[in-house]
Amino acid sequence: MKKLLIAAAAMSVVAGAQAQSTATIYGTLDVGYGSFSQQVGSAAKTTQKGLMYNTNDSSRWGIKAEEDLGGGTKAGVQIESWLGSLPRNNFGYNGGSASAYGVSSGTSNASLNGVGASVDATSMGNRILAAHITMGAHTIQAGQNSAFVRDIAVPYQADGSNVVGNLVGNDAVITGRNVAANYIYNAQGLTAGVGITNNVKQRDGYQDVNAGTGYQLKARYATGPMSVAGAYSIAKTDTGTTTNPTVSSTTAQLNSPVVLLGTGTQVKTETKVTVLAADYDLQVAKLYAEYGKVSVKDTNAGATLNDRHAISFGARVPVGKAWLFAQVSDGKQQNTTGYDGNWKGYSVGARYELSKRTYAYIVDGHSEYTYTAAGDKLKANQYGAGLVHNF
């Protein structure tokens, strides 16, 4: 009897310790076969095909740890890292960099990579590296995390996929990450947050250099079959001059860009992002809509480097253990020349649940951007089929 009591007491102590502090390893692996191609105007089309990661979901692994501090207060950390690389980056989001049309030297901003890429070519915490304190409905978090505009854009993708075609959900600025200090409220169907980003490099006798300094806001309200959401961010970044540089930074803190501090004029850019979204569950189908706008300005010259906006509509239709999806997008993109290029895309596919943790998928997507008044187009096509396992 004494042995049973001792064993019970030991189990109680272990259970109490586990209740106070927990650590979880989690992840997702998406592996399949696919193809991604791009063509700029009349230039030769480039295609890559073969084994790909992240076509449907983002392959990743991470660690979550949380400790119960008592009185309803918890503290924790999250570290999440990428596995592999995307088989493409969506085109058109970086216009005005080397060319007014978002194309440079006969190539587009779409990136052909990821086919056969090493699954360990990542750094620890390159997706999430943050700590938080939660007190009931209130959370304070700091570190690298999803940008608030990403928190709204990604869940409202009808395709739930990385496949090219959703102009809002694939925009690299909208779906980016930042290093920020955030306050988030979550209760009774309402999630609201406000955050600040502040990364400044300084040298005596020189102008300060900002790297994504600004703020962000988000809100989401869900009731019954419907939810609506919105987010906004503004960030200022200074490109350090390369004219007669006298000192350069040798390291980059988290995602802070390496800059040169020297003489001459800095390029000061201001990036504003707005995302609005909604969904409605009809039971026989779930409908999605989202709008995204990105505006990048050179505040020194008062010129617009890139101004783009797009809207996406889509639906998911459940069929037994599967669901089918279709999504269409349409928008405009204006670069330094002032030409409003037509921007459109679509994605279709299906997902079949093999278990609670594993599903198979097939996807197809297309995007095109008319970047001159003469009708020259930048086209991207992608298809893939594969298996995703969550652990």
**Paired sense of beta strands 21-40 and 60-70, if any:** antiparallel
Give the H or E element holding residue 13.
Answer: helix 2-20
pLDDT interval class at 364 (50, 70, 90): very high
d(CA 77, CA 66): 7
CB 74 within 8 A of CB 134: yes
pLDDT score of 302? 73
Of the given ranges (268-277, 283-292, 293-302), which has the lowest mean pLDDT? 293-302
Question: Per-residue pLDDT for 15 more than 50?
Answer: no
Question: Per-residue pLDDT for 126 more than 70?
Answer: yes
pLDDT digits (tens, 9 = 90+) for 167-200: 898 888 898 888 999 999 999 999 999 999 887 7
Q: Tell me the CA distances in angstroms from 79 to 61, 62, 145, 196, 256, one per residue in order.
A: 9, 5, 10, 20, 18
Binning the chain into helix, strand and coil, the percentages to the nearest 5 are 5, 60, 35
Mean pLDDT over 200-214 rounds to 72
What is the overall mean pLDDT for the chain? 80
Each domain of the chain, given as residue ranges in start order, spans 26-390
pLDDT interval class at 354 (50, 70, 90): very high
d(CA 128, CA 63): 10
Of the given ranges (11-15, 40-44, 358-362), which has the lowest mean pLDDT? 11-15
Please report, rounded to a whole number, the percentage of residues in the chain having pLDDT higher than 70.
75
Q: Tell me the CA distances in angstroms from 335 to 92, 146, 373, one per residue in order.
A: 10, 27, 13
Q: Tell me the CA distances in angstroms from 72 to 20, 68, 76, 78, 138, one per residue in order.
A: 11, 8, 13, 20, 11
Of the given ranges (163-177, 224-238, 295-309), which has the lowest mean pLDDT? 295-309
If one looks up domain 26-390 in CATH, what number appears? 2.40.160.10
pLDDT score of 376? 85
pLDDT interval class at 318 (50, 70, 90): very high
d(CA 52, CA 87): 6
pLDDT digits (tens, 9 = 90+) for 68-111: 999 999 999 999 998 876 555 443 333 333 233 333 333 334 44
Question: Per-residue pLDDT for 215 more than 90?
Answer: yes
pLDDT score of 253? 33
pLDDT score of 333? 83
**Entry field: residues in the chain:** 391
pLDDT score of 132? 97
pLDDT score of 204? 65
